[in-house]
């Protein structure tokens, strides 16, 4: 089975708007990379109606990723072609998909919220878990 490739665009990232078109995350064939190394451990995924991608790491909480700025989010990554990349606390994370996320040959700013209060369900505590949902359903209770 083919594997998702690294991004090739060198375009300067900019903020995404609804006029830029649809956003799609094809989760079943994604790969996760941490500091340049492909993650080989257990991973799971879920998809709900929405356009906000998230990743949860064992013992590290959850990262909520957005193409648009929101309160509490910091600009700390990009989406280029089929690849999400962001940095947090000296770690570089990359998620590669088989198909473009928001257009080919384009680069978008990525805004990240690191939710340290997130607790995974009991059956997901030892693996990376990812998903798509509506932003308001992913924000921590305030």
pLDDT for position 142? 63
**Tens-digit pLDDT profile for residues 45-77:** 888 877 899 999 988 999 999 999 999 999 999
- Could you tell me if 133 and 54 are in contact, meaning their C-beta atoms sit under 8 angstroms apart? yes
DSSP letters, 104-116, are TT-EEEEEEEEET
* Average pLDDT value for the chain: 89
DSSP letters, 85-137, are EEEETTEEEEEE-SS-SS-TT-EEEEEEEEETT----GGGTTSEEEEEE-HHH
Which is higher by pLDDT, 141 or 134?
134
The CA angle 42-117-119, to the nearest 5 degrees, is: 40
């Amino acid at each position: 089975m083919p594997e998702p490739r690294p991004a090739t665009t060198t375009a300067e990232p900019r903020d995404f708007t609804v006029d830029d078109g649809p956003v799609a995350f094809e989760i079943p064939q994604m790969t996760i990379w941490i500091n340049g190394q492909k993650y080989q451990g257990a991973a799971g995924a879920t998809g709900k109606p929405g356009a906000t991608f998230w990743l949860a790491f064992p013992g590290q909480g959850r990262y909520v990723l957005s193409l648009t700025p929101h309160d509490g989010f910091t600009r700390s990554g990009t989406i280029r072609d089929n690849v999400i990349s962001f940095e947090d606390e000296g770690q570089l994370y990359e998620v590669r998909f088989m198909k473009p996320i928001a257009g080919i040959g384009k680069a978008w700013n990525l805004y990240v919220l690191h939710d340290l209060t997130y607790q995974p369900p009991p059956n997901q505590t030892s693996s990376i878990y990812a998903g798509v949902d509506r932003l308001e359903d992913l924000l921590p209770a305030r």
